[in-house]
Structure 1
Amino acid sequence: MIETGQIAAPDELANRLAITDILHGHCRGLDRSDADSLKAVYWPEAEVDYGAFKGSAHQFADLVVVALAEPYELTQHTIGNTIIQFDGDHQANTESYVTARHLLADGSAEMVFSGRYLDRLERRGDCWKLIHRQVVMDWSRMHSVVDEREGEAFAALSKGDHGPKDPSFQHFVSGE
């Protein structure tokens, strides 16, 4: 373990970047309602604790994309303030602050969740994946929304979508 603020070795930086990619990939999987992307960041035997759901991460992936798509038109999960602590060469624990915004299906309100992800990851060979996630709620709030997506200033912009109609799908396929 290095001292806080100490410059990390290249191997440690590579491991930190791989872990960060896993954490970001999880957020994208949620927001694009992509169960396969979610499953790709978890080892097959991984478990999650999302409060109402405690169990298999792969089962959770199938359930959560439906659960988010029904009441919400769009979601946006962002993480920050991530601390990564290595436990040997093949295990790591992370804490990431999460802000999750959920636009109700009718566009009238937004539920904003503020909390943290407490994750355990394992490295197998040259690959890091989640083995356990616990979600910690700090607070949540509901706000009324004035939907301006079709207003004059924004009407011509591409619009986000839960699934394959989202512009990012074509962007990553074509490299545009």
Structure 2
Amino acid sequence: MTVEERLDELERELRYMKDRQAILDCIARNARGCDRHDAELLASSYHPDGFDEHGFAVNEGPRYPEWANAAHNAMSQQSLHNITTHSCEIDGDVAHAETYSVGLFLDPDGKTARMLAGRYADRLERREGEWRIALRRTTVDILLVGEAAFLTSEAFAQFGYLKGMRDKRDVSYQRPLTLERTSSDRW
């Protein structure tokens, strides 16, 4: 193999690795935007003409944050979208990804919680050098309901854990991150 051929191969491998990371970053940005109710961040994961399907609800990408925030507010007081197993096929400027997700939702009563496990089937496109979701279809494969009252017990309150916030008061937005008290609530 010539030096030029080796360099070409390395360049292809590097492009692939950068694309895979950019695609995973986009999917992670989507999950964080959902949990923090950060409409701008969430919308930035979709192309302006993209679509998101959650059951019978089909929303244009830029309108999805409004729908998602309202749905999450109606059914929970806290949520965590965890992305796990991820596979991706890249063909030029189009990629098809499957990402397993586990969504945890503390019910409005604070006494029960739900776990939805499913997958995101995404078609992503690179436009003007940026990967975003062109179409997302969501599955729910497992749904569990459990007791969660311990979160509001005196026994748990003594630990003083920070409570996630559904806006930019959340500790993850603090810059620089310090030990100073923030406006974040504690359990």
Short-chain TM bin: 0.7 to 0.9
Gap runs ≥5 in structure 1:
1-6
Pick from 151, 165, 175: which aligns with 1:161? 165
Larger Cα-atom Rg:
2
Gap runs ≥5 in structure 2:
1-9, 179-187
Q: Displacement of 1:155 after TM fit?
A: 2.7
Pick from 95, 102, 111: which aligns with 1:99? 102
Q: Displacement of 1:14 after TM fit?
A: 0.5
Q: Answer 1 or 2: which has greater helix percent.
A: 2
The amino acid that maps onto 1:108 is: K
**Bigger mean CA deviation after superposition, 11-20 or 70-79:** 70-79
Q: Trace 1:6-17 onto structure 2 (pairs within 5 A).
A: 9-17=13-21
CA contact (8 A) 1:69 1:162 kept: no
Relative to the length of structure 1, the TM-score reads 0.87
The equivalent residue for 2:80 is 76
Q: Percent identity?
A: 26
The equivalent residue for 1:121 is 124
Pick from 110, 133, 136: which aligns with 1:133? 136
Relative to the length of structure 2, the TM-score reads 0.82
The amino acid that maps onto 1:9 is: E
Q: Trace 1:62-73 onto structure 2 (pairs within 5 A).
A: 62-73=66-77
Rounded to whole Å, the distance in 2 between the matches of 1:62 and 1:133 is 16
The equivalent residue for 2:24 is 20
The amino acid that maps onto 1:53 is: A
| Aligned-pair Cα RMSD in Å | 1.9
Q: Displacement of 1:74 after TM fit?
A: 0.5
Rounded to whole Å, the distance in 1 between the matches of 2:22 and 2:115 is 28
Deviation string for 1:55-79 (max 9, x for gaps)? 3122221111122023311100001
